[in-house]
Amino acid sequence: MSEYWENRFITEDKIWGETPSRTAEYVLQLFKDHDVKKLLVPGSGYGRNTRLFSASGIKVAGVEISEKACNIARSFDPATRIFNDTVLDMSFLAHNYDALYCHSVLHFFRDYDRPLFIDQCVRRIKKQGLMFFTVFSEKEESYGKGKQVEKNTFESKPGRPVHYFDEDDLKAYFKNMEILETGIMEDPENHGSGPHTHILRYIYVRKT
């Protein structure tokens, strides 16, 4: 999977453009309301979302496996501290983040890695800290396309399995936390085959 992303960033550079995801704009307001000062962004890509948060005065750290994406991020969003490493072991980070924002990463992990990844995230956040995840929902146009490799997990693009979450499935991963909000959010993108809209599911939780 890391090779897949490295190749994409090498050939497509800023794949999703320079504009942040709609979900990041939404979360920024939530985090401002809660006076978030220190934010962790796992799977930070080339920094289109971290830049929104850092520009608003939040101290941001990103963890990203693609070296190429990290290099782009370091010039595109120099205010954010980028770690070129895996989010499956973030033990090199402190445990004192006020909040975490993770956009379009969790659904790329297989069933054995999803709880491991979430556990790594929870460990980095303070008690009462906030976390916001977005994932592909079962309403995505690509749901059910390609080879099924696990329940609700399809290789809609060869070599890139994606897990599609329904609401109960997503909530189950966060059953030990206070669930503040869940929902569906449309997220328009324009790359590859042209303009299209992702039907994302999100969950906003507080560590208890």
Which residues, including other chains, have CB under 8 Å from residue 12's CB and lie 6 or more apart?
191
Query: For ligand SAM, which residue of 28, 39, 64, 154 counts as binding (CB under 6 A)?
Result: 64
Looking at the DSSP bridge assignments, the partners of residue 56 are none
Residue 153 as a binder of ligand SAM (CB under 6 A): the answer is no
Neighbours of 75 (CB within 10 A): 9
Residue 163 as a binder of ligand SAM (CB under 6 A): the answer is no
Question: Three-state DSSP class for 192?
Answer: coil
Looking at the DSSP bridge assignments, the partners of residue 125 are 97
Neighbours of 114 (CB within 10 A): 18
Q: Which is nearer to ligand SAM, 69 or 177 (CB)?
A: 69
Query: For ligand SAM, which residue of 39, 58, 72, 105 counts as binding (CB under 6 A)?
Result: 105
What is the total count of residues that contact ligand SAM (CB under 6 A)? 21
Query: For ligand SAM, which residue of 45, 82, 165, 203 counts as binding (CB under 6 A)?
Result: 45
Query: For ligand SAM, which residue of 19, 86, 142, 152 counts as binding (CB under 6 A)?
Result: 86
Residue 10 as a binder of ligand SAM (CB under 6 A): the answer is no
Question: Dihedral angle at the C-alpha atoms of 121, 126, 128, 133, nearest 10 degrees?
Answer: -20
Binding site for ligand SAM (CB under 6 A): 1, 5, 16, 21, 43-45, 48-49, 63-66, 69, 86-88, 103-105, 108
